[in-house]
């Protein structure tokens, strides 16, 4: 069983995504994956647990909470380990029941990130080739497509911005408006990004496959105000960032 890192806990609840491994066709060495989404209460007791599978390769790479206290799980699905992996979003109600399950399009993806949109829908960032190809998709609250944008960048993370737009981290760093129009596009790479308390954004990039491991601060226009190397410049990996009330990182 392989576990994803836990999400930042809410005050009373914690949600974990666990990727469980089931063996099928052992003589051929075929391994299939199901997704297990489990919610724990403040005392660590299981509130509910939902298995999502199709008998194929089912992987989850991101989750976001919805306005009704449910969840949207993003990931990918493939018929076999060597088959094309399609982006996928599964919507759960507050009790973990599946409301809908959508395969978005025909992109062959490595990972999928997701965030909620102000209108109750979702914006999904697809990492297509881990280098210079990605796609951003808007779906409505029922999982139906609204718009798609192809972007010349691998996309590894997406966050909402205060003005209703979205910031994308990847082999390039982007800011898009609510309609998917690119407002700024910066050539520096980033692995993850978050909105800074005092305005602007805090981003990080890890050393592999990037040229160095660093933390950097961007203003609202995407201009790098400062950047600081961290640890080994060649092989470091940042796994978490935190900004305290004094804005130290």
- Mean pLDDT value across residues 91-117: 91
* Mean pLDDT, rounded, of the chain: 83
- Mean pLDDT value across residues 228-238: 72
| Model confidence, pTM | 0.83
Hey, what domains does the chain have and what are their CATH numbers?
2-187 (2.120.10.30), 188-249 (no CATH)
Q: 37-49 in b/e burial notation, b at 16+ Cβ within 10 A?
A: bbbbeeeeeeeee
**What's the confidence (pLDDT) of residue 114?**
96
Sign of CA dihedral 42, 43, 47, 49: positive
pLDDT at residue 18 greater than cutoff 60: no
**What's the confidence (pLDDT) of residue 208?**
56
**What's the confidence (pLDDT) of residue 26?**
42
Lowest mean pLDDT among 2-6, 45-49, 55-59, 161-165: 2-6
Q: How far is CA 24 from CA 17, 20, 30, 84, in A?
A: 22, 13, 6, 19
Q: 1-29 in b/e burial notation, b at 16+ Cβ within 10 A?
A: eeeeeeeeeeeeebbbbbbeeeeeeeeee
- Mean pLDDT value across residues 173-188: 93
24-77 pLDDT per residue, tens: 544 455 677 889 899 988 888 899 999 998 778 888 999 999 999 999 999 999
Three-state SS for 5? coil
**What's the confidence (pLDDT) of residue 30?**
62
**What's the confidence (pLDDT) of residue 1?**
39
205-229 pLDDT per residue, tens: 876 555 678 898 999 999 999 998 8
pLDDT at residue 164 greater than cutoff 70: yes
Structural contact between residues 107 and 124, judged by C-beta atoms closer than 8 angstroms: no
Q: Residue 209, preceding bond cis, omega within 30 degrees?
A: yes
């Amino acid at each position: 069983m392989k576990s994803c890192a836990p999400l930042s806990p809410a005050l009373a609840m914690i949600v974990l995504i666990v990727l469980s491994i089931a063996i099928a066709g052992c003589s051929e060495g075929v391994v299939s994956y199901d997704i297990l989404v489990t919610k724990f209460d403040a005392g660590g007791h299981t509130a509910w647990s939902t298995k999502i599978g199709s008998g194929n390769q089912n992987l989850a790479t991101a989750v976001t909470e919805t306005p009704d206290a449910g969840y949207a799980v993003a990931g990918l699905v493939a018929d076999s380990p060597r088959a094309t992996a399609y982006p996928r979003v599964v919507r759960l109600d507050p009790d973990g029941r599946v409301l809908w399950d959508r395969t978005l399009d025909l992109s062959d993806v490595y990972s999928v990130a997701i965030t909620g949109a102000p209108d109750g829908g979702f914006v999904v960032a697809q990492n297509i080739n881990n280098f210079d190809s990605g796609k951003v998709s808007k779906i409505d609250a029922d999982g139906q497509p609204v718009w798609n944008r192809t972007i010349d960048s691998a996309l590894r993370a997406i966050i909402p911005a205060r003005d209703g737009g979205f910031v994308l981290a990847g082999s390039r760093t982007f800011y898009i408006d609510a309609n998917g129009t690119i407002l700024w596009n910066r050539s520096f790479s980033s692995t993850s990004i978050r909105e800074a308390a005092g305005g602007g954004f805090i981003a990080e990039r890890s050393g592999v496959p990037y040229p160095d491991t660093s933390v950097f601060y961007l203003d609202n226009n995407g201009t790098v105000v400062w950047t600081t190397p961290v640890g080994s410049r060649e092989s470091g990996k940042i796994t978490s960032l935190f900004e305290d009330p004094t804005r130290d990182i």
